Structure 1
Amino acid sequence: MPDLPAQLRRADELYFDSASQVVLDRWSNGWVVLLGDAAWSPSLFSGAGAATALTGADLLGTLLH
């Protein structure tokens, strides 16, 4: 870490990003429901968002059927 500023000055390209996660008490309000990664991802960095989103959508469809 001590030489990070010098390395950044020498870099030809720099990419910087941030990740955020919102934690809610509930996922629905009346007829409005969070679906997909917004509701079903177990962790921001788990890499399982798509699989769990599909599972959640299937479960929701089953329960509404």
Structure 2
Amino acid sequence: MSNIISDFERECSEAGVQPHHALKAGGVHDSLWWKWRDGSVSPTLRSLERARSGLRSLIETKAA
């Protein structure tokens, strides 16, 4: 698993968010998470940024 994926997974874990929920919140199909994680597909920069945006959104929602 790449460092980018590991970092994203760690960020999600620290926030108490399932990674596939962050993808979905960011407008990325949530099934991509497992493909990214098992290495069958590499995330595009656009998809990863959208997933991170989804994570931020979920964190903000939890904080409110």
TM range (shorter): 0.3 to 0.5
Q: TM-score, normalised by structure 1?
A: 0.38
Q: TM-score, normalised by structure 2?
A: 0.38
Higher helix share: 2
Which gives a bigger RCO, structure 1 or 2 (Cα 8 Å, sep 6+)? 2
Larger Rg: 1
